Amino acid sequence: MAEQIVTANRLNDGIVVYFAGDARWVADINEARLCPAGKDAGEALLAEAKTGSYQATAVDPYLMDVVRDAEGRLEPTKYREKIRTLGPSVRLDLGKQVWGPKGHAA
């Protein structure tokens, strides 16, 4: 079953970020805050992400669907979001796909 998280691009460099709760935006999808079950919960999470000074960090937040893979890691359901989590599929040397764990450049 798909669950939802909130994503955006980071203001300073455009890097894809995810809302982790408590006004934090993180580069690693696995640290994203999962939407609790329930109707309208996604909208509530998005509203929470859009509070305070989010504008100084995150550009145009929106909800996206994720599922868990066999190892329990979060994976986007749409290929657009898959590409956003990784980087260009035609330049495997660029984007997040070359980052090490924890979202630092390898």
Partner 1 sequence: MYRYDEFDRTLVLERARQFRNQVARRQSGEITEDQFKPLRLMNGVYLQLHAYMLRINIPYGTLSSRQMRTLAHVARTYDKGYGHFTTRQNIQYNWPTLEEIPEILEVLAEAEMHGIQSSGNCIRNVTADQYGGVVAEEVEDPRVWSELVRQWSTLHPEFSFLPRKFKIAVTGSPSDRAAVKVHDIGLRAHKNAEGKIGFEIIVGGGLGRTPYIGKTIAEFMPAEHLLSYLEAILRVYNRYGRRDNKYKARIKILVDDIGIEEYRRQADEEWESLKDGALTVPQEEVERIRAYFAPPAYETLPARDSGYEAKLFEDAEFRAWAKVAITAHRQPGYAIVDISLKPIGGIPGDASADQMDALADLADEYSLSELRVAHEQNLVLPNVRQSDLYALWQKLKAHDLATANIGLISDVIACPGMDYCALATARSIPVAQRLSKHFASLEKQHDIGRLHVNISGCINACAHHHVGHIGILGVDKRGEEFYQITIGGRADEFAKLGDRVGPAVSYDRVIDAIDVIVNTYLKLRQPGEKFIATVERLGIGPFKEAFAEENLDAAA
Residue 16 binding partner 1, by CB under 8 A: yes
Q: How far is CA 15 from CA 48, 62, 65, 102, in A?
A: 21, 15, 19, 14
x/- mask, partner 1, residues 27-66, rule CB under 8 A, reads --------------------------x-xx--xx------
Phi, psi of 48 (to 5 degrees): -65, -40
Query: 24 or 36: whose CB is closer to partner 1?
Result: 24
Residue 80 binding partner 1, by CB under 8 A: yes
Q: Which of 1, 13, 100, 104 binds partner 1 (CB under 8 A)?
A: 13
Q: List residues near partner 1 by CB under 8 A.
A: 9, 11-16, 53, 55-56, 59-60, 77-80, 83-84, 87-91, 94-96
